[in-house]
A = this chain, B = another copy of it.
C-alpha cells in the first residue's frame, strides 16, 4: 500500500475526545441539556462521586463547554451553577447520534427510555415528531449511508506514509 495517509494526530475527532471523550463528561453534558444546572443536580442524577464530578466540571469549564453562573439561596452563601456555553450546546448532534446508536443496538426490549422530539417545552404548537441525525452533503444529497462518505485531507492535514 502506497497511499498517503492523513496523520491522525491533529484530527478533530481526537481533539473532541480529548475534551469530552470520556463517559462522565458527555453524561454531564447530557444532563445539562436536560436542565441540570447545580452541582447537586449532576451529583444526584448521575450518581457520580463528588470529587470526580468537581474535576469533570472544572475540565468542562476550562474547555469552554460550560460556564459558571453565580446564585444564592436564601440564607446561604453564594454558589455557582453550571450552564452550557454555545460550544457545549453544539454537542447535541453528537449526543443524539450516540443515543440513536444505543437505541438501535443496546436498548431494553421494551424500547428506548428517551425519545428526542422536535419542539421545546414552551411551544404552543409543538411538532413533537421524533428527531434523528442525518448525513447530508453540501449538494443537498441527504440521508447518506455511512459507507457513502469518505475522509479526505483538509487544509490542516499533515501526512504520513501509509503502513
| Residue positions of A touching B, CB distance < 8 A | 5-8, 10-19, 21-23, 26-27, 30-31, 33-34, 40-41, 44-46, 64, 87, 89-108, 110-121, 127-139, 141-142, 144, 146-158, 163
CB distance from A31 to the nearest CB of B (A): 7
- Known A16-B101, A44-B163, A130-B137; further 13 A-B contacts with Cβ < 8 A: A11-B102, A11-B113, A13-B102, A17-B27, A21-B21, A22-B23, A91-B101, A93-B101, A108-B156, A110-B156, A114-B152, A132-B137, A134-B134
B87 touches A93 (CB 8 A): no
One complex includes copies of this chain to the number of 2
The answer to whether A12 and B113 touch (CB under 8 A), given A137-B127, A149-B96, is yes
Q: How far is the CA of A27 from the CA of B15 in the complex (A)?
A: 11
Name the one of B5, B104, B115, B119 contacting A148, with C-beta atoms under 8 angstroms: B119
Closest to A121 in B: B150
